[in-house]
Amino acid sequence: MELRGIGIGQGVAVGTVMRMPDPLPEPAVSPSLLTPDAEGDRASKALAAVAADLMHRGERAGGAAQDVLEAQAMMAEDPTLSDDVTTRLAEGKTAERATFEAFAAFRDMLVAMGGYMAERATDLDDVSQRVVAQLAGLPAPGVPDPEHPFILVARDLAPADTALLDLEKVLGLVTSDGGPTSHTAILAREKSIVAMVGTADARRLVDGDEIIVDAANGVVITSPTPAQKTDAAARIAERAARANAPVRPGALADGTPVPLLANLGNADGAAKAVELGAEGVGLFRTEFLFLAAANAPTVTQQQDQYRRMLKEFPGKKVVVRALDAGADKPLAFLNDADEENPALGLRGLRALRASEDILREQLTALARADAETEAEVWVMAPMVSTVEETRYFVTLAHELGLKTAGVMVEVPSLALLADRVLQQADFASIGTNDLTQYTLAADRMLGSVAHFQDPWHPAVLRLVADVGAAGADLGKPVGICGEAAADPLLAVVLVGLGATSLSMSPSALADVRESLAHYTLEQAKDLAAAALAADGAASAREAATVAAEQARRESAIETEPSPADAPASA
């Protein structure tokens, strides 16, 4: 039997299943034997203890995991939630019941908001479980710890658990919930965990089942045959060999350079990215400076953080994305108003333009950090949808001392006007996650429409081709910074469509570098043409696969010695 889901990365794992324990039961509805003040003291101590534990786990994990866990800790300390708990305690409820109900109400509110905030409801469930366990004197629900390696199967995995997985034991991860941009997926990519999310039938898997998790093909194979296990073992060995091979610059088989860059969320991952062969940074997300802050960070605070990143890449390109926040990632000092559909609301450059002082301070801090380091700093704006917005951002960035300013192509309107956009911008970087979301009208945070969130769709590829063509005509660079660049075969197609650089999670660099080296630019264009001629995402991938096999066969024939070149027999 095969189970379908969304593969994270290109890895393969073989092992036996171990399921996450069931969550704690809902606390009983029974009157408290203590006073509200006494119960309030218990609740306050439990919330504080959980917040402290999450902060400690974040410090141990570092990187993107630290940002996620610190955000969870803030949930436990949210004053609105604390006030709700107090109100429920006054009704005579126990601390366990009052906190459970308060978190449940908070969760329902996030789900109703949809998009990014709905995806965070799972994180809130985890905090609730931890607080109830703390109050009951029970161990917090978490990952099992057997004596042997295993593949972890769960409905979803809390960030606190994902961040500290023992990678010596956890061979792979399968979840029934979650999408390609859930916290589970983000942290799995960062930690190079072989993972499948959104695997609807994962509930069929039971402890002790032997399975193959094939993330590259988005499939879980149950009761694998000896031949399937042998094939999986060979693929695991091939990936290990690629990861340990000497690092070289990204290039096609004919020598056409394709710089391979890293997507980073903060400076902590810079050294590891360089070690894995990153030739620079194609997407430096600056949200980590803002999301946990009650007030916008100062110019000096931002400057210090940018300098930390830039000094790791002397002489190399670092593309910094201006703050990408808004109603889906609400900031009290930027925009925390409720919106019916935040993915289409006041976010990205729209929000920054409405609070231009924050944008000016960020660009000023970046320009100052640029002057103090030897990196080649580029800056780009998110959620740009018009030529006028492009002109506004590029002009402001230049005015504040940044030499190279461009835009992210995430909205179809910008791709359709790429020839005019790139007359204004110094470069374009295509964010395939959002471009796919907006092209196919499918919220990328919702598992129910996750099957639409496929950058192989010809409609998405056609928009990429439009931007690539405009870049070639105007001599402007066109990068890819969405997770599509981490798919080794799709990376070749994207280059064939006109991408001049690819940026991805550092763990994907070796696979993509190896894939590019097998095809010439003309062959990459042939793969792209085959994918564009398809009707859907699955058929586009299949067409490109067939074209790739043909190209590999032709290359093998060309490299075989001709009879005239064969050595004479002795």
Active site positions, annotated = 183, 481
CA distance 279 to 250: 8
Are the beta carbons of 450 and 198 closer than 8 angstroms? yes
Tell me if 379 sits within 8 A of 359, measured CB to CB. no
Q: Which phi and psi angles does 144 have, rounded to 5°?
A: -65, 160
Taking the C-alpha atoms of residue 477 and residue 462, their distance in angstroms, rounded to an integer, is 18
Residue of 439, 419, 441 whose CA lies nearest to 431: 439
For residue 337, the tally of other CB atoms under 10 A from its CB is 10
Query: Residue 427 — φ and ψ, nearest 5°?
Result: -165, 170
Q: Token pair for residue 238? A: 């091939």
Looking at the DSSP bridge assignments, the partners of residue 368 are none
Give the whole-angstrom CA distance, residue 415 versus residue 462.
9
User: What is the dihedral sign for C-alpha 78, 330, 483, 272?
Assistant: negative
Q: Which residue has the tokens 């990014």?
A: 116
**Per-residue tokens: 6:** 């969304």
- For helices 36-61 and 79-89, give the axis angle rounded to 10 degrees: 150
- Residue 213 contacts residue 232 (beta carbons within 8 Å): no
Provide DSSP, 397-416.
Answer: HHHTT-SEEEEEE-SHHHHH
SS3 565: helix
CA 343 to CA 345: how far, in whole Å?
Answer: 6
Nearest CA to 261 out of 186, 187, 318, 181 is that of 318
Question: Which H or E run includes 538?
Answer: helix 537-559
Q: How far apart are CA 148 and CA 223, in angstroms?
A: 19
Alpha-carbon span 189 to 269, nearest angstrom? 13
Measured from the Cβ of residue 139, the count of other Cβ atoms closer than 10 Å reads: 10
Alpha helices, DSSP H, located in 311-407: 349-354, 356-372, 387-399
